[in-house]
Amino acid sequence: PTNRTFTMIKPDAVQDGNSGSIIKMIEEAGFRIVALKKTQLTPERAGQFYAVHAERPFYNDLCKYMSSGQIVPMILEKENAVADFRTLIGATNPANADEGTIRKLFAKSIEANAIHGSDSDENAEIEGNFFFGGLEQF
């Protein structure tokens, strides 16, 4: 079935001028862009987005990093969107990411790893709604 996932291009990749190349890879992989914008999180809002990681040792750094520059959040649509998108982006740690994945090509470190991808249909909907209102999701 056709379904949706949520992604955002992270500050390191936007800062480096890689958003265009990343969006091109996403479209060539067969994803339709449902919604897209360029914006910046405050540390507080980054903290809300990553609330599930609040107890992790990397949480404070992550919130600082994710609010350090502009990001490009998107809602994407495709058959098997969540799983196929995670294959396209590769492992969280770029050292473990497969050749040809977005993180292998563009990520700098386990933290500055270029791009986010939702881990379930349920989180894709929650995360998409964090950035986009209903009238922006077509």
Binding-site residues for ATP sit at 10, 58, 86, 92, 103, 113
User: Min. distance of Cβ 43 from ligand CMP in angstroms?
Assistant: 14
The one-character DSSP state at 97 is P
**Applying CB under 6 A, which residues contact ligand CMP?**
53, 58, 62, 92, 110-111, 113, 116
Tally the C-alpha atoms within 13 A of residue 88's C-alpha that lie toward its C-beta: 24
C-alpha separations of 19 from 37, 49, 56, 127 in Å: 11, 21, 28, 20
Closer residue to ligand CMP in complex, CB, 40/134: 40
**Cβ closer to ligand CMP: 89 or 134?**
89
3-state helix, strand, coil in the chain (%, to 5): 45, 20, 35
Backbone phi, psi, residue 31, to 5°:
-85, 140
**Least distance (Å) between residue 111 CB and ligand CMP:** 4
Rounded Cα distance, 22 and 18, in Å: 6
**Longest CA pairwise span in the chain (Å):** 39
In the complex, the smallest distance separating the C-beta of residue 84 from ligand CMP, rounded to whole angstroms, is 16
Question: Between 38 and 53, whose beta carbon lies closer to ligand CMP?
Answer: 53
Residue 116 designated active-site:
yes
**Catalytic-role residue among 116, 124, 131, 132:** 116
Known binding positions: 10, 58, 86, 92, 103, 113
Q: Which residues are catalytic?
A: 116
